[in-house]
Amino acid sequence: MTPGRIRRNGLGIIGLVLAGVAILAAFAAPLLAPHDPLNADFTQSLKPPGTTGHPWGTDQLGRDLLSRVIYGARIALFIGLCTVLLTAVVGGVLGLLAGYFGGWPGAVLMRLVDVQLSFPFIFLAITINAIVGLGLRNIIISLAAAGWVVYARVVRGEVLSVKQREYVHAAAALGLGRGRILFRLAQKMRDELPRLAEIETRNSGKPIVESEYDLTDVATCFEYYGGLATKIHGDVLPVPDNAVSL
C-alpha cells in the first residue's frame, strides 16, 4: 500500500497510530509504569479504577493493573510476532510443497487444512496447549500450530497457478531439477508478498488477543477438571485425554 493510499484510509491511519502507541508503550514500560508490576500489597487489593496512585485499580494481590498491562504488552507483542513468523514460514513451505508436487500428499495436506479450519482457532490452541504443556514457548507453538493453515492455502493456490506457466514447463524440459524449480517458484512468491503481508497484519492481532486469555491458566483448568473427571468416573486415562473429552 502506497503512502498516498494510507493517507486516504482513515481507519488505516487510526490502526497504525494505535499499534505504534502500543509498541512504544511496551518499549518504554520502565518509564511509563507507575509501579512494579510484580509488587504485591494486600492492603491495596481490589481497589477500583480511579484510586489515587492506581488509575486502573489493583488486582486481588494488590498489584497495579496499569503497570501490569504496560509490561504485559511486551509479552503479548513477542507472542504475536513469533507466532506470525512461525506460521508464515511453516504454512508457506508446506503450501509450496503441496502445490508443486500435488498428488496424494497435497490432497492429504489440504484435507487436513479443511478439517482444522472447521474448528474454532481458540479451541484448537487451548487443546494443543493442554497437550504440549505449559510455558511461553509452548503457547507460541500452540498458536502457530492452530494458525498455519491460512498461509498454506494461500501459497498452494498461487503455486498451482504459477507452475502451469510456460517458463516452468520450459525449465523442466531443459532438465532443471525439482529443487531448483522449487527455489525459483519460491522467488516468484515475492509477487505474493503484499497479500501475505496483509494476512500477517490481519492475523498478527489474533495471537495477541488469544494469549490474553492466558492459555497457561486455561490449560491448567482443563487438566484440573480432567483430573476431577478421572476421580469421579474411576477412569485411568491420562489427564490431557480427559481434558479434551471434557
Summarised one tens digit per residue, pLDDT across range 84-143 is 889 988 988 898 888 888 788 888 888 899 899 888 888 888 888 888 887 888 888 988
What confidence tens digit (pLDDT) does each residue in 198-226 have? Answer: 666 666 565 665 555 444 444 444 444 44
- Does the pLDDT of residue 144 top 50, yes or no? yes
User: How does DSSP classify residue 58?
Assistant: B
Lowest average pLDDT, out of 19-33, 52-66, 100-114, 153-167, goes to: 153-167
Residue 143 C-alpha cell reads as: 498458536
Average pLDDT, the chain: 76
* Burial grade of 180 (CB within 10 A; 0-12, 13-18, 19 or more): exposed
Q: How far apart are CA 192 and CA 133, in angstroms?
A: 35
More confident site: 66 or 171: 66
pLDDT at 52 exceeding the cut of 60: yes
At residue 51, what are phi and psi to the nearest 5 degrees? -65, 140
Residue 76 near residue 211, CB atoms below 8 Å: yes
